[in-house]
Amino acid sequence: MSMTRRDFVRGGVSAFTLGFAAPAFLCDLARAQGSVARNLVVIYLAGGNDSLSMVIPYNDPTYQLRRPTLLIPAGQVLQIGTDSAGNAIGLHPRLTGLRSIFNSGRLALIQRTGYENSSRSHFTGTDIWSTANPANSQGPGWLGRYLDTIPAPVDPLAAWNTTGQTPHALQARLVGVPAIPNPATYAFQSPNSGTNAVDERTYATRISSHEPVGRPHLAFVNATSQAAFATLDRVASVATYTPTVAYANNNGFAQALRAVAGALSRGIGTRVFWVQTGGYDTHSAQNTLNGSYNTLMATLNEGLFAFYNDLSNQGLLNNTLILQFSEFGRRIQENGSQGTDHGAASIMMAIGGQVRGDIYGTAPNLNPADPANPTLENGGNDIRHQTDFRSVYARVIDNWLGGDSVAILGGDFRSGAPQIL
Amino acid sequence: MPFHDRQMMHVLRRAGFGARPEEIADFAGRGLSATLDEFVNFTSVPDDVDSKIGTPGYAGTTSNGAFSPSTVINDARQRWLFRMLHGRRPLQEKMTLFWHNHFATAYSKVAGNTNALDGTRMMAAKRSEHPGRLQGQLELFREYALGNFRDMLVEIAKDPAMLVWLDGRTNTRRQPQENFGREIMELFTMGVGFYTEPDVYAAARVFTGWNLQRIGGANDANGYYQFQYIAGNHEPTAKEFSFPIYLNGSKTIPARSPADGMQDGLDLIDALARHPETGRRLARKLWQFFVSETLPPDDFLVGRAAAAYQQNNFSVAAMVRMLLFSDAFLAPANHFTRHTWPAEFVIKALKEIGHAGFSMNTALTPLVNMGQQLFEPPDVAGWDLGPNWFSTGAMLARMNFAAVLTSNQRINISQDARGKGPTPEALLTMYLDRLSPADYDRGAYQDLLDYLRAGGTWTGNDAQIGIKAPGLLHLIVGSSEYQFV
């Protein structure tokens, strides 16, 4: 944990505690703030996604040479057409649901997204994607900064993180984001029962309502407890959600999306959701067609397609935007471990009822022979970005969330943004 | 009733996992300085904690079949928690936890690439339990808890669990693979900013040939993995770095014959252990672990600790001693400024509330919900510490563990509190001393009293104590004041 991040937590505590809405107003607030209705579901593929195995320029003659064991033959990719430069593009064979969404015109693939001097560190890279600031990747995240623009008092369920710890992208100055990995266990237990248990919840809520004098670190924990108490009952309503489709029980990613669908279906007013799925750091045994990457794609496809259909069945698709990213792409040349090392640009995806489905950007030319090949960097080893990821964020903030991307991103990244919305 | 000495309680919380009443009495009889000495010189205390497992008077364990911590990961988790709760070498156990976070390795990948039995062995077996008399990674952390960091790095580079976790065992000569080469610089030693991308590529080549071999058949229950340097897999050309590798300032590891190539890795590890940023980075992490998370690391003390590391042959003990015997460590302003890790929180609550009839197995799922499953850090950077532990879900999980524990201990709590609550104030005073949370401000203190009074007249009779004492302990352990050491 860096000093800067802790400093911001310390600085933010007081305002956070005071700016918090009292539980009595929450339902009104949720209605008022939720009436915007649009929501954003951010999906983070943790570990650095090998975009070349996900969205595949399968006719590139160099692809086969640089991926001798990992390549997916043209006959097996799910061919979806060509990009604007005429490169034939195919999806990983397990992404059948995504192909179906693409064919419905609701999947946007944004090739070669990244930034200049891409970090090859998981942690620095994640911080940069989280803050949208390659120069100084500390402090609140880009989604946190958006949440901070919501007029106070802010609904404590304005955002919902489905992982155990608040991701950097959602860290805000004024707004605490609840971590709700599982709505069913997000409840307050007591050693006693009946009125005694009710008393305990009452007093636990009171005890955490104070701001310990001169001890902002305690005040921060109290604010967390207050957020928990303020969100318990609405989350309980999500725990009883019955989806319209089956979400695989053994797929944690799908289960997280099931909870998100429940929150949307119940209309509890959340605007930003965070869902994460890991295992993308495929240094070895990536075995694109029958090994770890194949499993990753199956997990992704299964969860996303169930979620898409569940929302579609309930007429919620037009209010939902799914945005996927990863902290970096991977090396073009496979290593000797049947895996790939840390690289640069990768793929972003957007899915939703109002998304203009298409293949955005152009595939890299994988031939390193030409040192001036503008689609590669690092001596031809890595894919160079074509679309600045911040321009995608800008598009989402301006055209979907109704925010001001220039203020939130600290700069004007609107030009060159793919017209996905 | 004499109140506990605040300095002593601080030492026991910070350098250990808190203390049971009889432990407090024992340490108090010896005094602060002797206690700290014993913590640091822990080899003077018998390492007999494992022999207490399954004996009366200690917390229990629960497993499918015979308790087997060297082959079943949940049993390994229970044994480790048992050591934290009952061990007589608190600082050794505390540093073991520190190293688990520093060299964060996840069982799921290790076992996923091998199997549950081999995975558990690689993570947690003791030599006496291992068919090849090797030790699992946890035992390595215990052995080097306050040991020589350079030697520890060598052992880590050869550690079977690490070789699976960061893919070292698939590193090849022709196309080196960078996972371990990157993280040993980024996370285990100097940190980001002090190496370049070409350094990563060179480090990957350095460690080619550092591999595993299987002894015994793949399905042989007595088979196992051990380190092996495979000369034929080593990439023998010279490797150039951006920082000095040798004492004469040379930045190049010379070309060597494959047979001698293992020396490449030893040379790089020497250079990394010696790099000035390594000592400083370790000292900063230890400062945050032992002194304070609410103040930035003190440059002067960090500098002195880093110097002690360099002057004492990369001794972690020298660094830790420098910190624990500093004025800053004991300063009252620094008390309760470290956010407890979930494992620390659980063990402290067990020590302070009681463990009779409690199975360590009961703590495993709550720990997952609090965000710290042992042997399962989220990634190679370890857990996000400090305020990052405190999401709403994780805080609820802490409160709910307090509910489970106080419910589980209701009989002990009630017996213990019998007659000690003539007034709500008396009962609260007793518990605030025993549990040693940070001080409550007036408002929260009044809320705790009001809770005791809620629902009728205070009588302090057995029936009321049987409800209110567990309820009060639940509120204290679930309050922000209790989340810090």
| Residue closest to B209 by CA, chosen among B173, B167, B181, B165 | B173
A·B CB contacts under 8 A? 210
SS3 call for B174: coil
Q: How far apart are the CA of B167 and the nearest CA of chain A, in angstroms?
A: 6
The answer to whether A110 touches A348, Cβ cutoff 8 Å, is: yes
Q: What is the mean pLDDT of chain A?
A: 90
* Best B113, B199, B390 residue to mutate vs chain A (most A CBs within 10 Å): B390
B51: CB partners within 8 A, 6+ apart = none
CA distance B445 to A248: 47
CB contact (8 A) between residue B391 and residue A213: no
CB contact (8 A) between residue B441 and residue A212: yes
B333 touches chain A (CB under 8 A): no
B-chain residues within 8 Å CB-CB of A285?
113, 170
pLDDT attached to residue A166: 87
Residue A164 is nearest to which of B385, B394, B407, comparing CB atoms?
B394
* Best A44, A195, A225 residue to mutate vs chain B (most B CBs within 10 Å): A225
pLDDT attached to residue B171: 86
* Across A195-204, A369-378, B228-237, B298-307, least confident range: A369-378
pLDDT attached to residue B2: 53
Partners of A358 in beta bridges = A108
pTM: 0.89
Residue A14 has pLDDT above 50, yes or no: no
Alpha carbon distances (Å) from B30 to A353, B25, B49, B240, B326? 71, 9, 21, 54, 20
Partners of B214 in beta bridges = B225
Query: Sign of the CA dihedral B17, B18, B20, B23?
Result: positive
Residues B254-285: pLDDT tens digits? 999 999 999 999 999 999 999 999 999 999 99
- Predicted confidence band of residue B90 (pLDDT cuts 50, 70, 90): very high
Residue-level length of chain B: 485
CB contact (8 A) between residue A203 and residue B454: yes
From chain B residues 187-206, the ones with a CB under 8 A of any chain A CB are 192, 197, 200, 204
CB contact (8 A) between residue A225 and residue B293: no
At which residue do the structure tokens 């007793």 appear? Answer: B430
Residue-level length of chain A: 421
Q: How far apart are the CA of A218 and the nearest CA of chain B, in angstroms?
A: 6
Quick one: which H or E segment has residue B210?
strand B210-215
Residue A328 has pLDDT above 80, yes or no: yes
In terms of CA atoms, which chain B residue is nearest residue A123?
B381
CB contact (8 A) between residue B480 and residue A225: yes
Percent of chain A residues topping a pLDDT of 90: 84
- Predicted confidence band of residue A37 (pLDDT cuts 50, 70, 90): confident
Partners of A272 in beta bridges = A40, A159
CB contact (8 A) between residue A195 and residue B455: yes
pLDDT attached to residue B424: 96
- Residue B269: exposed, middle, or buried by beta-carbon count in 10 A (0-12, 13-18, 19+)? buried
- The strand ranges marked E within B43-89 are none
* Best B197, B395, B439, B449 residue to mutate vs chain A (most A CBs within 10 Å): B395
CA distance A277 to A9: 26
Residue A16 has pLDDT above 80, yes or no: no
CB contact (8 A) between residue A218 and residue B481: yes
CB contact (8 A) between residue A283 and residue B170: yes
Residue B26 has pLDDT above 70, yes or no: yes
From chain B residues 54-113, the ones with a CB under 8 A of any chain A CB are 113
Residues B157-189: pLDDT tens digits? 999 999 999 999 888 898 888 999 999 999 999
Percent of chain B residues topping a pLDDT of 70: 100
| Residue closest to B365 by CA, chosen among B399, B397, B392 | B397
Buried b / exposed e along A326-339 (16+ C-beta atoms within 10 A) = bbbbbbbbbbbbbb
CB contact (8 A) between residue A336 and residue B441: no
Residue A208 is nearest to which of B171, B378, B479, comparing CB atoms?
B479
Both tokens of A148, joined, read: 């901070």
Average pLDDT over residues A271-298: 92
CA distance B119 to B117: 5
Residue A196 is nearest to which of B379, B391, B471, comparing CB atoms?
B471
Buried b / exposed e along A343-365 (16+ C-beta atoms within 10 A) = bbbbbbbbbbbbbebbbbbbbbb
pLDDT attached to residue B286: 98
From chain B residues 290-329, the ones with a CB under 8 A of any chain A CB are 293-294, 296
- Residue B249: exposed, middle, or buried by beta-carbon count in 10 A (0-12, 13-18, 19+)? exposed
- The alpha carbon of B480 is separated from its chain's Cα centroid by a whole number of angstroms, namely 22
Average pLDDT over residues B5-27: 95
A-chain residues within 8 Å CB-CB of B172?
335-337
pLDDT attached to residue B207: 97
Percent of chain A residues topping a pLDDT of 70: 91
Quick one: which H or E segment has residue A277?
strand A272-277
CB contact (8 A) between residue B113 and residue A166: no
- Predicted confidence band of residue B84 (pLDDT cuts 50, 70, 90): very high
Residue B448 has pLDDT above 80, yes or no: yes
Strands A159-161 and A272-277: parallel
Q: Which long-range contacts (CB under 8 A, 24 or more apart) does A397-403 make?
A: A397/A146, A400/A38, A400/A40, A400/A321, A400/A354, A401/A38, A401/A40, A401/A146, A401/A271, A402/A36, A402/A38, A403/A146, A403/A149
Q: How far apart are the CA of A323 and the nearest CA of chain B, in angstroms?
A: 23
For residue B420, count other CB atoms closer than 10 A to its CB. 15
Residues B193-245: pLDDT tens digits? 999 999 999 999 999 999 999 999 877 889 999 999 999 999 999 999 999 99
Q: How far apart are the CA of B466 and the nearest CA of chain A, in angstroms?
A: 10
B-chain residues within 8 Å CB-CB of A218?
438, 480-481, 484
CB contact (8 A) between residue A179 and residue B484: no
Quick one: which H or E segment has residue B121?
helix B116-124
CB contact (8 A) between residue B387 and residue A192: no
Q: How far apart are the CA of A367 and the nearest CA of chain B, in angstroms?
A: 18
- Residue A68: is the preceding peptide bond cis (ω within 30°)? no
Give the ipTM of the model, two decimals please.
0.95
CB contact (8 A) between residue B192 and residue A203: no
Buried b / exposed e along B113-134 (16+ C-beta atoms within 10 A) = bbeebbbbbbbbbbeebbeeeb
Residues B57-82: pLDDT tens digits? 999 999 989 999 999 999 999 999 99
State residue A37 phi and psi, 5-degree precision.
75, -35
CA distance B187 to B102: 8
Residue A22 has pLDDT above 50, yes or no: no
pLDDT attached to residue B319: 98
Residue A35 has pLDDT above 90, yes or no: no
CA distance A16 to B409: 36
CA distance B222 to B216: 7
List, as one string, the DSSP characters of A243-272.
-SS---TT-HHHHHHHHHHHHHHHT----E
Q: How far apart are the CA of B29 and the nearest CA of chain A, in angstroms?
A: 32
Residues A128-170: pLDDT tens digits? 999 999 999 989 999 999 999 999 888 999 999 999 888 999 9
Partners of A275 in beta bridges = A43
A287: left (phi over 0), alpha (psi -120 to 50) or beta: left
Residue B388 is nearest to which of A1, A10, A219, comparing CB atoms?
A1
Partners of A82 in beta bridges = A88
From chain B residues 455-474, the ones with a CB under 8 A of any chain A CB are 455, 467, 470-471, 474
